[in-house]
Amino acid sequence: MTVNGVKRSVGADAETSLLHVLREDLGLKGPRFGCGAGLCGACLVLLDGYPTPSCDTPLWAAEGKDVVTVEGLGDLDSPHPLQQAFLDEQAGQCGYCLSGILISAAALLTRNPAPDEREVAEALDRNLCRCGAQRRMIRAVMRAAKEHP
């Protein structure tokens, strides 16, 4: 598989969760373990461009595919427009859910570079955040869409 633009090969069992391989074998701590059932969004990665819960995706399902984690969106020197907008809007609170939310938002902006607020809210709906920062997150996605069409 290709992870964040780099071809990777791992020796893990094919049934091992993609999340485990990303975090433990490849050292990518962005995707997080939340529910373990693919329902909370904390572990989302882009798998061939689609937001996919890595906690319940077996490694074999990623074979030959392109995997992008939040680390692959940008870095400190060159943050992705969404990452910068989340900082500018102070959209994070505890931050546990942010990697999955950024992945969902990146997928949305790839599909639809000019979403309205309803479309942003729908795209982020599968991501659980208990901190109450949803309005700031929606503002951040709208800001990224506006500033970087």
Token reading at 36: 């373990």
Domain 81-147 has CATH 3.90.1150.10: no
Residue 18 in this model has a pLDDT that exceeds 80: yes
Contact yes or no for 30/46 (Cβ under 8 A): no
Residue 79 in this model has a pLDDT that exceeds 90: yes
In 3D, which of 5, 14, 55, 9 has the Cα closest to residue 32? 55
The full set of domain ranges for the chain reads 2-71, 81-147
Residue 149 in this model has a pLDDT that exceeds 80: no
How high is the pLDDT of residue 50? 97
pLDDT tens sequence across 40-58: 999 999 999 999 999 999 9
Q: What is the pTM of this model?
A: 0.95
Phi and psi dihedrals of 61, rounded to 5?
-70, -15
Q: Which amino acid belongs to residue 28?
A: L
Average pLDDT of the residues of the chain: 96
Neighbour-count burial for 53-67, b at 16+ CB within 10 Å, e otherwise: bbbbbebeebeebeb
In 3D, which of 87, 96, 75, 103 has the Cα closest to residue 140? 87
How high is the pLDDT of residue 148? 83
> What is the rounded average pLDDT of the residues 81-91?
96
Contact yes or no for 23/71 (Cβ under 8 A): no
How high is the pLDDT of residue 132? 85
Token reading at 119: 């479309």
Class of domain 2-71: alpha beta
- The Cβ of residue 14 has, within 10 Å, a number of other Cβ atoms equal to 10
pLDDT tens sequence across 93-141: 889 999 999 999 999 999 999 999 999 999 999 999 988 899 999 999 9
Token reading at 75: 């870095």
DSSP three-state, residue 134:
helix
